Amino acid sequence: MLIHPMVERLRGLGLSAMAEAFTDMQHSAAADDLSREDWLGLLVDREATSRENKRLGRRLSLARLRQNAVIEDADLRTPRGLDRGLFQKLTTCSWIRDSQHLLIGGPTGVGKSWLACALGHKACRDGYSVIYRRAPRLFADLATARGEGRLARLLTTLERTRLLIIDDWGPEPLTSEQRRDLLEIIDDRDGKGSLLMTSQVPIGRWHEIIGDPTLGDAILDRVVHRAHRIELKGESLRKRNAIATTEGLTNTKEK
């Protein structure tokens, strides 16, 4: 069999990973003992894995998650109000499949953003489209899109995304335009997508942030009643990690 023409033919068909696997197996003594079916299976598996990794890379690139967080690294030992059972349920992404929402609250530094990014990463791994934005950046993007005449296109992009993460919601009150935009974003997600919001402002004060009783009722009714809720507590993880790092450096110097 002429190896080079076969490899080039596979690449010409867009099967680059399969071509590389074919070349590798030609130089592997262990491949001599494989049946034709096993050879074909390994080639197909390599191509399928490569394509899925590329799709995952594209989803992560579009998501623009703020932190490189994965659910496997979640700290379930430190007492901070993170229920193990609920967390494990959320990692299955069934709530995204059912177009439910998730609200993560708690003081600054307890890991709200990290947890949101970890769940967003898992959603990407499970094949869901994700967009992450800090609330100030989201509203700035909406204002810019409105000024450039592409607001409808941006809203359509958000609507078609299965999981929209709005991080650092509050505490500054919304403007009239921001209130209307937020209501439209949330209304577009009804039954079609999930919303994950993090905030250090208690839900009981969200009406103050929205700044309009009628729109506040409409927004909260669409989000809160269909949302899982996590209330984190405890001291800042950043502060604790900084102290641990300082102590480690001090101990090193003492030695």
Other C-beta atoms closer than 10 Å to the C-beta of 63 total: 22
Other C-beta atoms closer than 10 Å to the C-beta of 2 total: 7
- With a cut of 60, say whether residue 24 has pLDDT above it: yes
Pair 237, 115: CB distance under 8 Å: no
Indicate the helix (H) or strand (E) that contains 228. strand 227-231
Report the C-alpha gap between 119 and 228 in whole angstroms.
Answer: 13
Torsion over CA of 106, 108, 111 and 114, rounded to 10 degrees?
110
Question: pLDDT-derived band of residue 236, with 50, 70 and 90 as boundaries?
Answer: low
Q: Tokens at residue 12, please?
A: 């010409």
- With a cut of 80, say whether residue 174 has pLDDT above it: yes
Residue 255's pLDDT is: 38
Q: Tokens at residue 155, please?
A: 């809203």
Pair 82, 174: CB distance under 8 Å: no
Across 31-40, 41-50, 180-189, 234-243, least confident range: 234-243
- With a cut of 80, say whether residue 165 has pLDDT above it: yes
Work out the average pLDDT over 103-110: 93
Report the C-alpha gap between 26 and 64 in whole angstroms.
Answer: 40
Find the length of the chain.
255
- With a cut of 60, say whether residue 51 has pLDDT above it: yes
- With a cut of 70, say whether residue 31 has pLDDT above it: no
Question: pLDDT-derived band of residue 152, with 50, 70 and 90 as boundaries?
Answer: very high
Full set of structural domains in the chain with CATH: 3-62 (no CATH), 64-237 (3.40.50.300)
- With a cut of 60, say whether residue 243 has pLDDT above it: no
Torsion over CA of 214, 102, 178 and 146, rounded to 10 degrees?
-130
Q: Tokens at residue 83, please?
A: 């229920």
Across 92-106, 144-158, 181-195, 228-242, least confident range: 228-242
